Structure 1
Amino acid sequence: MFLDVLRRRNPAFIEAAIRLHQEGRIPTNAYVLDLDAVEENARHFRAAADRHNLKVFAMTKQVGRNSGFCKAVMRGGIDRAVAVDMACAVACNRAGLKTGHLGHLVQVPRHEAPMAASHLAPDYWTVFSREKAQEAAQAAKRAGRTQSLLARIHTQKDTFYRGHEGGFPAEEIAEVAAMMDALDGAQFAGLTTFPALLYDQEKKKVLPTHNLTTLARAAEALAKAGRSGIEVNAPGTTSSIVLDILAEAGATQCEPGNGLHGTTPLHAIEDLPEQPAVLYLSEVSHLHQQRAYCFGGGLYIDPVFPDYDVQAIVSDTPTVAQNAMASVEIPPPSAIDYYGMIDTTGSAKPKPGDSVVFGFRGQAFVTRAFTVGVSGISKGDPRVETIENPFGVVQDWPELR
């Protein structure tokens, strides 16, 4: 879905990835990142958020919490991360990107709360229940801190992905705020939900969900009760062009993830300010009955679009040419993606050892793929900065010695 955008808007990135792979400098089964483009995207996003007076927390899970990505985001002016889970927070913190928001989407496990409070010390900590609020408060007290808590709220007609449910009834937010303020070691700071915005496949637009209205109404109720300085965290399908929607709804925080590497659904159909900055790289392993089999491990497509003809560039030399394109069948989500199967009946004639470049809206942290940060592409001097596993841990690769 994103390969056409990559070919048109960042062809030097594709060519650099193929060249580096053919030289043995980056591994097969890797999400490769154009760190120059990430830095510029972050800089643009930071400026747009500042115009709307929005705090920005970068989501890094989609690119495997790669430390090079974290540092590029920081160079672009974003100095805080939102951690989808504890592993995410630890990886970002290790890279120098401090934890701005923890506990959303995944709550902090009970016995990991002390480490979260003392080692990570998040600016904001989301809780879904009284018990989780108490755990956060107790851990913060032991760490000598007062933790700012965000309440995840919900009401009828709100949207949640299956398995993401949880939180406080929005109608009880005044009581919830008072409960949090009464905890020794914590204080109520504001509200959150997910998703606040979603891509509408029929209208080809990013639109507010009912959840965003729920946040606005709850914040208004708190203001009428005399509370001020309420934080409103409103993540979901966040690119720089949707920030006016969030600001008008009263949001104070935004959390770009795919927006920082140019792979929100809207990036696939419109040229937004953010440049495409991630691709997935594989290699042809062998041929069998008019199919070329390429290595898998990261063949995960975030299911925001209906099924489509997955294509890849297959070549042993740097190119973005149309005649190097081929259709690829990838295993269904219920299967292990050992290989993808490339059609060999078209103009592309794959052979073992060829590089295979996909344009995915991925989720590297749920795969077994490497993540590779490459700098210098914008200057014509690509350099591999780091090769890491999906937990942001640097891998020993001979070419980096």
Structure 2
Amino acid sequence: MFLEKTRQENEKLIACAFDLHQRGLISPDTYILDMDMIRRNGEMMMKEARETGVKLFFMTKQFGRNPLVATMLQDLGFDGAVAVDFRETETLRKAGIQLGNVGHIVQIPKAQIPAILEAKPHTLTVYTLEKMKEIDEAAKALERVQDITLRIIGKEDFLYPGQYGGFTLEELPQVVETAKSLPHVRISGVTSFPCFLYSEMSKKVESTPNLKTVLEGKRQLEELGLTIKDVNLPSVTTTATLKAIRNAGGTHGEPGHSLTGTTPYHRQAKGEESPAMVYVSEVSHQLEGMSYAYGGGSYARSHVAKALVGKNLEDSVITDVIPPRADNIDYYIALEGNHHVSDTVVMAFRTQIFVTRSHVAVVDGIQQGTPKLLGIFDAQGRKLDELAI
């Protein structure tokens, strides 16, 4: 999906991938994160964010909740991190990362709420009255008031399977009435997902019906006497879309794939951000005119199509990839043609590292020609034994 674009805009990363694998410093089924390029992408985004006034909570699930990358982004001035589920909060808290928006995609289990509140998140997104009451109870024990954001949904909204949940517009009067009886929570934000999506037809990032629902929810809540200061409008948050967020009335965005230059928008358009991530494997064996590389990093929506195979970039050949079917375990990734056993395989595609069993190698200095392997981590952001590959 992104291999040709990566060759055009970040060939140094691909060359580094071949080198690290051929020297045995990384194993097959490893994603490489280019810290130089992620930093460059983040700097551009923060510059635009300051000019537009949009605040940014960065997402880490796409790059494996990596603490080194998260710390670097926090140092650049991002306003905190999105924790899409309760396990992500554990990794982020241990790394000393400020929690921005917690609980939007996955609600916080009751037992984890006190520990998360102790980390002083900017906001917790909720979509049940029961969860609101649990947060109030935990905040009371800490003698504080916690800001919460309502996820609001409408009849015509687009929601991904496995992500259903939210308050309808019709429920808002009851939600506000309940909140008035809970002195330790304060409704201060509204959100939905996705509010923006890239259109393959128009080749533009366009708003979804969800955006209209969120803005209507804000209007109704303010008519009910609330002050709504946070209007969080994901997704496809990139340098190029921050003005659209601001112009729609948004206050916050949540960049994820844009930090590694791997949104659908980046595949089709000349986005400001450049690719900063590749996947590395190795040819295991051949059978009947096909070669098989070690798997483990596949993602059902990756749209992987091509791979470079060889011992180095200069002598590598490009070949078609046949990704594993969604109903099979990705023990291997099939490649067209016969390729030498133990050759390096480099791919670039859309991923969500946190749902894989891959390793993550963080490398600094690639763009300066002095690559340094900073560490190898698992897909959940835990650092592995330095000697383990």
Shift of 1:217: 1.7
8 Å Cα contact 1:46-1:77 kept in structure 2: yes
- In the alignment, the residues of structure 1 paired with residue 120 and residue 83 of structure 2 have an alpha-carbon distance, to the nearest angstrom, of 12
Q: Secondary structure at the match of 2:21?
A: helix
8 Å Cα contact 1:25-1:399 kept in structure 2: no
Q: What whole-Å deviation, never above 9, does each CA across 1:17-62 have from its counterpart, x for those lacking one?
A: 1111111112210111001111111111111112221121000101
8 Å Cα contact 2:55-2:79 kept in structure 1: no
Q: Does 1:357 align with 2:346?
A: yes
Could you tell which deviates more after superposition, 189-198 or 199-208? 199-208
Amino acid in the other structure paired with 1:353: S
* Structure 2 segments unaligned to the other structure (5+ residues): none
8 Å Cα contact 2:376-2:383 kept in structure 1: yes
Q: Secondary structure at the match of 1:377?
A: coil
Partner residue in 2 for 1:129: 128
C-alpha RMSD of matched pairs (Å) = 1.8
Could you tell which deviates more after superposition, 380-389 or 221-230? 221-230
8 Å Cα contact 1:148-1:188 kept in structure 2: yes
Shift of 1:358: 0.6
| Structure 2 residue corresponding to 1:331, chosen from 324, 327, 344 | 324
- In the alignment, the residues of structure 2 paired with residue 170 and residue 371 of structure 1 have an alpha-carbon distance, to the nearest angstrom, of 42
Shift of 1:168: 1.0
| Structure 1 residue corresponding to 2:313, chosen from 301, 312, 318 | 318
Partner residue in 1 for 2:355: 366
- In the alignment, the residues of structure 2 paired with residue 37 and residue 144 of structure 1 have an alpha-carbon distance, to the nearest angstrom, of 43
Amino acid in the other structure paired with 1:380: G
- In the alignment, the residues of structure 1 paired with residue 247 and residue 177 of structure 2 have an alpha-carbon distance, to the nearest angstrom, of 27
Shift of 1:399: 7.5
- In the alignment, the residues of structure 2 paired with residue 208 and residue 284 of structure 1 have an alpha-carbon distance, to the nearest angstrom, of 42
- In the alignment, the residues of structure 1 paired with residue 103 and residue 228 of structure 2 have an alpha-carbon distance, to the nearest angstrom, of 21
Q: Secondary structure at the match of 2:280?
A: strand
* Structure 1 segments unaligned to the other structure (5+ residues): none
Partner residue in 1 for 2:107: 107
Q: What whole-Å deviation, never above 9, does each CA across 1:130-170 have from its counterpart, x for those lacking one?
A: 00101111112222321100011111111111221111112
Q: Secondary structure at the match of 1:246?
A: helix
Partner residue in 1 for 2:63: 63
| Distance change in 2, residues 1:87/1:312 (3 Å) | same
Length, aligned pairs only: 389
- In the alignment, the residues of structure 1 paired with residue 373 and residue 74 of structure 2 have an alpha-carbon distance, to the nearest angstrom, of 18
Shift of 1:215: 1.2
Shift of 1:75: 3.5
Amino acid in the other structure paired with 1:253: H
8 Å Cα contact 1:291-1:341 kept in structure 2: yes
Superposition map of 1:280-295 within 5 A? 280-295=279-294
Amino acid in the other structure paired with 2:324: P
8 Å Cα contact 2:190-2:228 kept in structure 1: no
Q: What whole-Å deviation, never above 9, does each CA across 1:320-345 have from its counterpart, x for those lacking one?
A: x7x6101111211111000011111x
Amino acid in the other structure paired with 2:17: A
Partner residue in 2 for 1:13: 13
Amino acid in the other structure paired with 2:322: E
- In the alignment, the residues of structure 1 paired with residue 174 and residue 150 of structure 2 have an alpha-carbon distance, to the nearest angstrom, of 11
8 Å Cα contact 2:55-2:78 kept in structure 1: no
- In the alignment, the residues of structure 2 paired with residue 143 and residue 15 of structure 1 have an alpha-carbon distance, to the nearest angstrom, of 52
Structure 1: 4+ residue segments shifted above 4 A: none
- In the alignment, the residues of structure 1 paired with residue 380 and residue 156 of structure 2 have an alpha-carbon distance, to the nearest angstrom, of 35
Partner residue in 2 for 1:272: 271
- In the alignment, the residues of structure 2 paired with residue 28 and residue 336 of structure 1 have an alpha-carbon distance, to the nearest angstrom, of 16
- In the alignment, the residues of structure 1 paired with residue 154 and residue 321 of structure 2 have an alpha-carbon distance, to the nearest angstrom, of 42
8 Å Cα contact 2:187-2:226 kept in structure 1: no
- In the alignment, the residues of structure 2 paired with residue 281 and residue 249 of structure 1 have an alpha-carbon distance, to the nearest angstrom, of 40
Q: What whole-Å deviation, never above 9, does each CA across 1:305-330 have from its counterpart, x for those lacking one?
A: xx6x71101111234x7x61011112
Identity of aligned residues (%): 35
- In the alignment, the residues of structure 2 paired with residue 245 and residue 160 of structure 1 have an alpha-carbon distance, to the nearest angstrom, of 21
Output the TM-score relative to the length of structure 1. 0.93
